[in-house]
Every structure is written in structure tokens, then in C-alpha cells.
Structure 1
């Protein structure tokens, strides 16, 4: 067979394997060397309408688009790129995927080995390019009739099993020799060993897993439930959040909710009220901490866990280590929803210390009232955070950017019940727009997104992914002329603007126009809320630019912290 035919056959077997492993979304960037994969992906989608094709001209944005799609489902998402630096542009998405366990499959085209490191065009060394950021790597040989299709299906099947079991990224490197184009030849003799598999619809390899009874994993629960404890809700989905809330209600323990938990609690604003000595002293009376989900935003809560000396449980499906304090404790690698239900099922009728921390509810209410008074009714970052919960339409998803955006909501907002998405693995500012676009494509629901100006500038290319959007998207960009997070950090004052904040003096009106997006620049807090509500109710993307004075947010927060430290909250 000609190389062009064999290239296509291998690409077909790979993509069929991916489809049978649950892949329903394939993201493709332009390129010639990846032609066999691109053409077979298109053919697969034509045969199977449940397989969707997504395209983007920027490989870095494409990787984050796939990451967003993967956040909405337990199915893996495939990415196809050409050879060379196109592959390197996927590293940021791979790094995030490793930390947060979204399932990504990188199908990277490559030159054959004889064209590497010899001056050939668009050829770099791609072996090991993702380093530890990819959980599994399959570095294929160039397609050859000497290599059985059974071997190809088997090695891909084993890699897919590892991906489905543990999450993260799976890198399949495909070195295709030329010619890349041409009519397909008859390949029936080559495919004969796998004819039975081709005629079916099952994966090439099947695996089974034993399920442990959660009750046998939690032998200490009968004693711990009668102690003074707190529950911490980190990143989780809505069903898990509801189960954790029910557990908290029956236990009578304080529930501290990270913004990624999807709904606030009666103890909202703890990142700030923990700076109050009375509140901190009361919380330190706890003897048990059960944390559901990792990647907490609050610095103060992280410090509390660091210093905590009692029984500590951390529950998350993520198989890796999620405790940066490296403390002794019980790590339960399991579904949050199932564990919360099991703990509630194991409760006795009257836990001895129910309601022990209820005074912190009063502290939260007093803090939020004080915050509302301090923020006032003028448009600022602090007032935005204080009122943000009312800007979200029921049924909309929320995507929160990194840096100051997520910290502001953690400090000042009790979120309503909604699905919340964020990139809190590496917590970088790259690829946020692309990730949100992927989430919305996967969910097909209205979305409210909030992010900073530097983050938006970093991912400006990805505004193209929000053009021709059939679903409502309100993209709120807080423009404080640079990296406002550095106002909260002890960076050198004389170098702050030059090397940290980096003021840009730019407006996003022209960017919105360039990509055909609607644009609003509200001047008041009321106008900002109206713009957000309207944008979540009409198809298409609206960029809503909130312009605030540089440095004002940092000054407001420092003054707030000082007030709270001396306030009478309980």
C-alpha cells in the first residue's frame, strides 16, 4: 500500500478506538501533516452524528477549548494538531489537565524519525514534549504493513484504559510519512485480523474494576460525628454540593464553601471574617475537618487547615495528593456525592455537637452587611463582588477567571445555586476564554463569565470561539488597567507598574468589534447588572467591560481587612 493509504488506515483505527472509548468531541487545528487524522475525524463524524468537530486556528486556545469541553462530561476529548511548535502550544492545557484530571487526548502529527534533527522543515523533537504533564504517552512508529493492526489497537486500548481510569492527558504521537494525500487503496488484506472488531462497536480491550463499600472505608465515623467539626466544600458538581449541604444540615456543623462549590452557605465570606480574632478563635475549637474537593481559593482557610491538629479527611476522585500542607490525615479517593450520602446514612439521630459553630453564621451576616455598606452603590470591583449573586440568571452557568476575579467572589459574594467552572489547577490566566467557550459548547446553556483585563488580553484570539454563539454569553471583563492582583502583594512599589501591573491603557470595544461580538460599557452598578441579565437572556456573546480605577480595589480591600480585624462580629 502507498503511505497515504496506510496513514489513513492507522488514523481510522485510532479514531475508531477513541470513539468507542467515549470520545464525542474532536478539536482540530489547521495543518498538513495531520491530514490523515483530520480526514478520518471528519469521516467518523459523518458516520456518527454524535461526534462533533470543533476547529480553531490557535493550538493553544484549541487545547483549552478541549479542556472546557472535558469539564462538562466524564468522556475524553480529542485534539488534533500538526507537527512542530503546534504541539508545544498544547502544553499549558496539558499542565492544567494533569492537575484537575479532565480527560484529554492529544493526537499530534509528526515527521517520521528519519526527518527529525536533520534540518527538515517544521520538525522538532516531540518525544516526551509534555514531560510529566501527560499521564500516558504512546509514541507510535511510522505506519507500516509489518506492524499488525492488532498491535495498534491493543496499545491504544491500554492507553485509553489508563486515561479513563485516572484522568489527565494521553499523548498519541503519530509520525506520518509522505505522501499525505491521494486516493485510498484496498486495505482488506491488512485489516483482515481485526475484521470482527471493525464490524462491532466495542472497545478492543475491556477492563473491570472492583468497587469497595464506602462504609468499610470509614470505621471512625461513629465517633467523629459527635465531635466539633467543620465541612469544607471545594470543587464539585451540583449533585455533590446538594449532598454535602444535606450532610451539613443533619450534622449541624459549619459548611465553608469555596466559589467552585457552586453555591454559597450561611458562612460566606470566611476568607475575610477569619481575619477577625474572635471568629478565628471560635473556628479553632473544631476537632474534625472533612474537606470535599481540592484546590481551595481562600488563603486564610488554607492557613487554618495548615495549623489544624485534629482529624482531617479529604475526599476527591482525584487520585493524586491534594493537600499542600502535607498533613497527616485520611485521603478518600472516591466520588464526593457517594461519600457524602454514605456519611449521612451513617449518622446517629442526634450528633452531640450539632450547632456548635452557629455563631459564625451571625459573623458572616454582620460581615456581609458591613461589606455592603463599605462597597456602596457606585461601580467598583468591591461592589461588583458584593452584588454579583444577583447578576446571575437562574439556569445560567458561571465561569470564574483567576487572579483577582475569583478572590473577589470568594471574599464578598454568597453565590446562588449554579454550576461553577474555573481553571484552578495551575491557576494560570492563559486560556480562560477558550475554556469557557468549551464549557458552554458542552453544556449548551447561558453563561456568565467574569475575568480580569490582563487575562482577557492573554487569550484575545479565543474571542473568535465566541463569535456566532447560539447560546447567551455575558463576558464581564474587569478593566483596572493591568494586573490588579499585585496591589495585594508586597511587590516593590517603585517597580510595581513597570514589572508587575504593566498598565496597558487599552479598551476592549475594538476587540469585540473585530470578532463580531456585542459590547457594553456600563457606567453604574445598576447598569452593569442590567447588562449582565440582558446578555444572559439573548443569543450571542456580549462583552461587558467594567472600567475601574487602577489600584482602587487593593486600597479598598486593605481598608476592609483592617476594619474586620477590629469589628464586633460575634
Structure 2
């Protein structure tokens, strides 16, 4: 027996009574019609791509003049959607006439909130794989995939151009900003750029790394792997080693993720060989919880004990104890150089990036979001 149960936001809500059971509808809950039922000719189409969608399908959506956004695991999509959709004015300017969903549910809460509030039709194309709809925003289901040769599937290229201009404006701002401090958004940008330039696979850890890649990094041009869901931070180092075995890869993980699966370094790349540069963003604890409600609900000492879980480990020494080459960097140029050198040398290379503490990280993200949206807002 397999039981799926929806729970309240974890670790935040007070205990309460269960709600009354809802009745079941008498008829089918969704409509399944041929792909020819999709009629979006000349309309502003936003295509939201999640896990499990092939690169070919993404290319077809782009060729159909749809503005394509996706989470960190999806390559060749418009960058920085989560950032700009946090701004009400930009979200209104970018509101589509039709949303087409492909694959898994979007990981971005900002995007999910806009999908729920825009109110227009949301079409799930199940031909590329089942479309998850945990928020219940899908209004119609079709069995098919995008077909750029079908005039009924061709969207409005002006809408695509608007999205592209916004994405490019944020990317230009981020590329030109000068910061003497290497922060977590900066680490994500360097790692993705290095993977793109080298044409190697990218592995992204849970919590802040996968979000920073989605929010701040340039468009991914390579395959991206990420363990998402209930597994949390389990096995990410081992996943990265598996992806790199007999090949080449760059991985970005947090310090706790690294420590949680550090035993994966025992066997390293094994007999398969290969090259893995494992970048560890070291903020001395669990950074994502500083962004969540738990931070405001608990006294600082209690929060640190339960959620911040600070560590006092020398991560370079830890990596070297397992026989890996390891170094620590504190600026973007040094990080880029170490990644390039590690890929060229082969084998396992751990690069620990020293980043600001977790409270400063929250402040930096807030300032970046404000500045990036201001840069994009100048286009309106």
C-alpha cells in the first residue's frame, strides 16, 4: 500500500485539528484530448518546465515561440525567472495569456505563486511525461508535445522577446556588478559558467546551492543533476562521484551536505576514473533555514542549535584525510582557476569557497533581488 499525505508547512505550524474530508467529484478531474487541441496561435505563452523533460522537448517549445522557464535542473531556459517574478510590477508586465506546463512541478515558490494568482488557463502537456500539479492550477490536460510546425502552437514572439530582455537585463547587472566579497550567488555563477565553458555535467546540491543556481546563475548549457525531494541532503557527494565516473563533472554543494555524505570520498571515482571538481560553499552551517519562518520563530541560540547547526570543521583537512586534493579560495577568480585546473588534472579535487555568514547571506540576497529587479524594471 502506498499512501501520499499532504502535510502543513513542516516545523512551523502549531498542532491543530484535521480538516473535514472533502467530497469527490462525480466526473473526471481533467480532460485528455489529442495534442491538436492546443490553440495558442499568436498568444503570449509561458512554458514552465520541470524535472523529467528532454532537451528535445525544451527545444521544440522554444522553437514554437514560447517563453521557456524552468528550475535549476533544466538547461537552455530563460534565466532569473524566480528573481523577477518576486517584483509585482515585473510579474504584471510578464503575465502570459496561456501557461503551458511540462514535467515536474516548479521548485520556485515565486513562480508557483504567480501561476496561482495570474488566473489564466494553465495547460498541462502530458506527452513529455506526467505533469505534476500539487497546487491544482492546471485547467486542462492534453496528450502531446509542442509542435513548432503546427500554426496553432506558434506563440507570440514579442512576448518571448520581452522575457528575454528582462532575463538579459538581470544577467547584465549580475555580470557587471563588482563585489570584493565572494558570496553564495557569486559561487553559483562561477560554477555554472565553468561547467558551461568546459561542456561538463553539473551536479547541484540541495538547499541553497540549487536555489542559487536557479536564481543567479546564467542559463545552463549542460546536463544538470540534482537530488530533490524527501531525500534532502542524503548522498549528494556520492551522486556527484557517480555522474563524474568515467567522465567529467563539476558539483556545487553546501558545507553540511558535504559533511553529511563525506564517506563517499572513501572510494572516490574508483576504477572508472574521471574528473570531479567538488565545490563546497562554506558558510559554517545550514544556510537555507535563515530564509525560512523558523528563523523568526525561535530565539537565536535555539535556532542555531536546531536549524543553523553550525560546525567547526576544517573542510580542506577533512577532504585531504580521504586522499582528495583540496584547497580553499576566497574570490571568484581563484575559484574559476581551481575548477579549470581540477578538470584538466583529472581525479577528485575539492574546492572550499569561503562565503559570508548566514545572516549576511540573507541580507545580500535581499539587496541583490532589489537591484536586479530595478535593472529589469527599467525596461518597462
**Is the pair's TM-score, using the shorter chain for normalization, greater than 0.5?**
yes
Q: 1:439 to 1:387 in 2, by over 3 A?
A: closer
Deviation at 1:479, TM superposition (A): 0.8
| Structure 2 contact 44–156 (Cα < 8 Å) conserved | yes
Q: 1:376 to 1:333 in 2, by over 3 A?
A: farther
Counterpart check, 1:415 vs 2:219 = yes
How well do the aligned residues superpose, as a CA RMSD in angstroms? 2.7
Deviation at 1:460, TM superposition (A): 1.5
Given candidates 32, 36, 39, the residue that maps to 1:219 is: 36
Q: Give the distance between the partners of 2:344 and 2:126, measured in 1 at CA.
A: 35
Query: Residue in 1 aligned with 2:98?
Result: 288
Q: 1:462 to 1:416 in 2, by over 3 A?
A: same
Q: How does 1:81-230 map to 2 (within 5 A)?
A: 217-221=34-38, 223-230=39-46
TM-score (norm 2): 0.81
Higher-Rg structure is: 1
Counterpart check, 1:245 vs 2:55 = no
Aligned-partner SS, 2:344: coil
Given candidates 182, 187, 190, the residue that maps to 1:387 is: 190
Query: Residue in 2 aligned with 1:489?
Result: 292
Query: Residue in 1 aligned with 2:241?
Result: 437
Q: How does 1:544-559 map to 2 (within 5 A)?
A: 544-551=351-358, 552-559=360-367
Deviation at 1:509, TM superposition (A): 2.0
Q: Give the distance between the partners of 2:109 and 2:82, measured in 1 at CA.
A: 7
| Structure 2 contact 319–350 (Cα < 8 Å) conserved | yes
Query: Residue in 1 aligned with 2:268?
Result: 466
Deviation at 1:287, TM superposition (A): 1.9
Counterpart check, 1:347 vs 2:151 = yes
Deviation at 1:488, TM superposition (A): 1.4
Deviation at 1:276, TM superposition (A): 2.4
Q: Give the distance between the partners of 2:277 and 2:269, measured in 1 at CA.
A: 13
Query: Residue in 2 aligned with 1:449?
Result: 251
Q: Give the distance between the partners of 1:320 and 1:452, measured in 2 at CA.
A: 31
Q: Give the distance between the partners of 1:352 and 1:391, measured in 2 at CA.
A: 33
Q: How does 1:510-549 map to 2 (within 5 A)?
A: 510-549=317-356
Q: Give the distance between the partners of 1:387 and 1:543, measured in 2 at CA.
A: 15
* Unpaired stretches in structure 2, ≥5 consecutive residues: 5-31
| Structure 1 contact 253–354 (Cα < 8 Å) conserved | yes
Q: Show CA shifts across 1:461-517 (max 9, x none).
A: 112242546100001111100011122123235233222111112122232222211
Deviation at 1:273, TM superposition (A): 1.2
Deviation at 1:351, TM superposition (A): 4.2
* Unpaired stretches in structure 1, ≥5 consecutive residues: 1-127, 134-214
Given candidates 115, 131, 139, the residue that maps to 1:329 is: 139
Query: Residue in 2 aligned with 1:498?
Result: 305
Q: Give the distance between the partners of 2:304 and 2:128, measured in 1 at CA.
A: 39
Which one scores higher on RCO, CA 8 angstroms, separation ≥ 6?
2
Query: Residue in 2 aligned with 1:560?
Result: 368
Q: Give the distance between the partners of 2:348 and 2:188, measured in 1 at CA.
A: 22
Deviation at 1:457, TM superposition (A): 1.2
Q: Give the distance between the partners of 1:467 and 1:227, measured in 2 at CA.
A: 49
Q: Give the distance between the partners of 1:518 and 1:247, measured in 2 at CA.
A: 42
Aligned-partner SS, 1:466: coil
Q: How does 1:23-38 map to 2 (within 5 A)?
A: none
Given candidates 248, 260, 265, the residue that maps to 2:73 is: 260
Q: 1:467 to 1:216 in 2, by over 3 A?
A: closer
Deviation at 1:243, TM superposition (A): 3.8
Query: Residue in 1 aligned with 2:24?
Result: none
Q: Give the distance between the partners of 1:375 and 1:232, measured in 2 at CA.
A: 32
Aligned-partner SS, 1:537: helix
Q: 1:309 to 1:226 in 2, by over 3 A?
A: same
| Structure 2 contact 174–372 (Cα < 8 Å) conserved | no
Query: Residue in 2 aligned with 1:297?
Result: 107
Q: How many pairs does the alignment contain?
A: 344
Q: 1:326 to 1:243 in 2, by over 3 A?
A: closer
